[in-house]
């Protein structure tokens, strides 16, 4: 925190920006919230945005743009080939990462599609600190297998590990040796490890992973989608980074890793994405996929205005005042919830606050989807839209067996530069009410279960009548309040 308050008890995260464009929000009465979540099949992805007060589904593509980003959009150069906008993006990537070669893609998972096509074939394994939903789906689609090598402590809901996303380095070496390096498609380091609670990876660990890959001749890939938050934590929690400028860290990582890819819906407060590398041979081996799946090499399926916003946003991702906003707001929310006794993943990470639903509703079986049930309850209680990050977000095994998630999380994402502190306080308050009424929360069962990425489109219903009971209790406790 760079600004110290005079009275210690007044200390809160302070925004280093002001709001100049606003969007009206709706907060529906609880009876309508009950109807809306049931119509959405208890799936927060299927809610309509107009029915939501706090959209905390994700930080992807919903971060507020700066005046400089929206200004840059006006000078976008619309051209199928050789657009000046793409040259400006290349310059931004050169400045931020020090890298010359850029393959633009329309978003992060498009990069994963291309990387999987390039490196994965049946029988190969992709080693990761932890999987991300879309990454895993692309690897398994091509007959590969994902093996997760995050250190054990990363999966404990609460401890004081500063870098829970770190690889278990011994296990990584052992796995490469036992599998045989030729069968390893790649090793992927996910910065700000999403599904374990936005938990960072240390610079030391990332560099050690790259060194191990180098030793065995295995490609190293950094998923930098959540690198912004991760750099904040490196600077706060890792001695060697304290006096490094963010740019030095970006450059060092680009020098170490064979390939970096990212979703600009997160990194750079915009939309789009890219695959970048110093290695021309690797870049050339993926180049042909860009016109095939994305668009010509100078737009990659991204609208030119978004390319301009992305370029400007990448420069902003060097600015500690912008980098700090997400993690500081998240830390504040986590601290409030923790003070209320609500079970949260600790230490606070990036991306959002994560409720530990195994502890929230401890008696609910995994196959009644505790995290999804808590998400539905939060929407009923406050028009808050979280995202289920538990068993529902997993895929069943090929034989149909349910694969229970290591962690049952309800994620409250904090998009950058969007919410005010009073809105964050409101969320903490409503979560506290749900926590105090947790005995009312019941499970969910499938009505429609898609085979692939079921959490996007699947529909469920309550087991019993608990949602009506929760809404009734809200009326009793809050009277006429929305
Ligand atoms: N990698 C990570 C670590 C991500 O968190 C995401 C997206 C992607 C890749 C894919 O990027 O959405 O641009 O295709 N995460 C979003 C989320 C969807 O809500 O956590 P994308």
Residue 12, judged by CB atoms within 10 A of its CB (0-12, 13-18, 19+), counts as: middle
Tokens read off for 270: 């915009």
Q: How many residues does the chain have?
A: 482
b or e along 170-209 (b: 16 or more beta carbons within 10 Å of the residue's beta carbon)? ebbbebbeebeeeebbbbbbbbbbbbbbbbbbbbbbbbbb
242 is catalytic: no
C-alpha 59 – ligand 1 centre gap (Å):
9
β-pair type (145-148, 184-190):
unpaired
Taking CA 303 as the corner, what is the angle to CA 283 and CA 301, rounded to the nearest 5 degrees? 40
pTM of the model: 0.96
Asked which of 26-35, 193-202, 392-401 is least confident by mean pLDDT, the reply is 392-401
The string of pLDDT tens digits covering residues 50-88 is 999 999 999 999 999 999 999 999 999 999 999 999 999
HEC secondary structure over 168-193: CHHHHHHHHHHHCHHHEEEEEEECCE
- In the predicted model, is pLDDT for residue 228 greater than 90? yes
Q: 3-state DSSP call for residue 276? A: strand
Strands 125-128, 384-385: pairing is: unpaired
Ligand 1 centroid to Cα of residue 226, in Å, is: 8
Residue 6, sorted as left (phi over 0), alpha (psi -120 to 50) or beta, turns out to be alpha
Predicted confidence at residue 453, as pLDDT, reads 81
Measured from the CB, is residue 442 less than 6 Å from ligand 1?
no
Question: Catalytic site residue 262?
Answer: no
CA of 58, closest atom in ligand 1:
19
pLDDT tens digits along 389-442: 999 998 888 899 998 998 999 999 999 999 999 999 999 999 999 999 999 999
Question: Rounded distance, CA 328 to CA 334, Å?
Answer: 10
3-state secondary structure at position 332: helix
Residue nearest to atom 9 of ligand 1 (CA): 108
How far is it, in rounded angstroms, from Cα 181 to Cα 80? 40
> Whose alpha carbon is nearest atom 4 of ligand 1?
225
- pLDDT at res. 479: 96
Closest residue by CA, ligand 1 atom 21: 108
Query: Hey, what are 112's tokens?
Result: 């994963």
Mean pLDDT score of the chain? 97
> Are residues 416 and 381 in contact, defined by beta-carbon separation less than 8 angstroms?
no
Active-site option among 133, 134, 175, 179: 133
State in Å: Cα 474 to ligand 1 middle.
34
Rounded mean pLDDT, 370-384: 98
Structure tokens at 199: 């938990």
**CA distance linking residue 478 with residue 482, whole number of Å:** 8
CA distance 436 to 434: 5
pLDDT confidence of 19, banded at 50, 70, 90?
Answer: very high
328-358 per-residue burial string, b: 16 or more CB within 10 A, e: under 16: bbbbbbbebbbeeebbbbbbbbbbbbbbbbb
Give yes or no for a cis peptide into 347 (omega within 30° of 0). Answer: yes
pLDDT in tens, 98-157: 999 999 999 999 999 999 999 999 999 999 999 999 999 999 999 999 999 999 999 999
- Residue in 45, 59, 60 to alter for ligand 1 test, most ligand atoms within 8 A of Cβ: 60
| Residue from 261, 154, 279 nearest 205 by CA | 154
pLDDT for res 202: 98
What would the pLDDT profile of 318-345 be if each residue is shown by its tens digit?
A: 999 999 999 999 999 999 999 999 999 9
Q: Model confidence at 96, in pLDDT bands (50, 70, 90)?
A: very high
Of 63, 105, 108, 306, the residue with max ligand 1 atoms within 8 A of its CB, to mutate for a pocket test, comes to 108
For ligand 1, atom 5: residue with the closest CA? 194
The pLDDT score that the predictor gives to residue 213 is 98
Per-residue pLDDT band for 313 (boundaries 50, 70, 90) equals very high
Mean per-residue pLDDT, 32-53: 98
Reduced to 3 states, what is the DSSP secondary structure of residue 356? strand
Rounded Cα distance, 137 and 403, in Å: 14
Split at pLDDT 50, 70, 90, the class of 1 is: low
């Amino acid at each position: 925190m760079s600004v110290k308050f005079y009275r210690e008890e007044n200390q809160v995260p302070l925004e280093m920006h002001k709001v100049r464009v606003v969007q009206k929000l709706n907060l529906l009465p609880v009876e309508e919230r009950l109807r809306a979540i049931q119509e959405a099949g208890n799936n927060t992805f299927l809610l309509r945005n107009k029915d939501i007060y706090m959209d905390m589904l994700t930080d992807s593509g919903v971060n507020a743009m700066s005046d400089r980003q929206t200004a840059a959009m006006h000078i976008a150069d619309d051209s199928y080939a050789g657009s000046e906008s793409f040259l400006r993006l290349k310059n931004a990537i050169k400045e931020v990462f020090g890298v010359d070669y850029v393959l633009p893609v329309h978003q992060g998972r498009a990069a994963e599609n291309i990387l999987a096509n390039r490196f994965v074939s049946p029988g190969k394994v992709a080693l990761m600190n932890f999987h991300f939903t879309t990454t895993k789906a692309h690897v398994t689609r091509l007959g590969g297998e994902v093996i997760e090598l995050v250190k054990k402590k990363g999966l404990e809901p609460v401890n004081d590990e500063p870098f829970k996303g770190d690889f278990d380095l011994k296990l990584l070496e052992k796995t490469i040796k036992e599998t045989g390096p030729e069968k390893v498609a790649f090793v992927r380091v996910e910065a700000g490890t999403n599904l374990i609670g936005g938990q960072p990876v240390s610079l030391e660990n990332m560099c050690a992973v790259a060194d191990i890959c180098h030793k065995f001749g295995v490609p190293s890939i950094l998923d930098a989608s959540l690198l912004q938050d991760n750099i904040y934590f490196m600077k706060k929690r890792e001695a060697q980074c304290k006096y490094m400028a963010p740019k030095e860290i970006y450059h060092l990582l680009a020098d170490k890793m064979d390939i970096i890819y990212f979703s600009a819906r997160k990194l750079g407060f915009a939309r789009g994405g890219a695959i970048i590398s110093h290695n021309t041979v690797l870049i050339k081996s993926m180049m042909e996929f860009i016109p095939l799946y994305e668009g010509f090499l100078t737009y990659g399926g991204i609208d030119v205005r978004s390319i301009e916003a992305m370029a400007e946003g990448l420069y902003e991702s060097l600015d500690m005042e912008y980098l700090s906003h997400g993690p500081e707001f998240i830390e504040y929310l986590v601290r409030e919830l923790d003070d209320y006794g609500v079970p949260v993943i600790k230490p606070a990470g990036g991306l959002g606050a994560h409720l530990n639903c195994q502890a929230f509703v401890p008696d609910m079986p995994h196959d009644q989807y505790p995290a999804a049930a808590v998400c539905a309850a939060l929407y009923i209680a406050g028009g808050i839209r979280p995202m289920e990050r538990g068993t529902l977000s997993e895929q069943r095994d090929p034989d149909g067996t349910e694969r229970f998630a290591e962690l049952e999380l309800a994620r409250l994402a904090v998009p950058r530069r969007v919410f005010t502190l009073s809105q964050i306080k409101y969320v903490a308050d409503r979560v506290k009410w749900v926590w105090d009424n947790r005995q009312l929360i019941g499970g969910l069962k499938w009505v429609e279960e898609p085979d692939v990425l079921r959490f996007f489109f699947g529909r469920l219903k309550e087991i019993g009548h608990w949602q009506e009971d929760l809404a009734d209790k809200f009326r009793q406790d809050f009277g006429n309040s929305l």
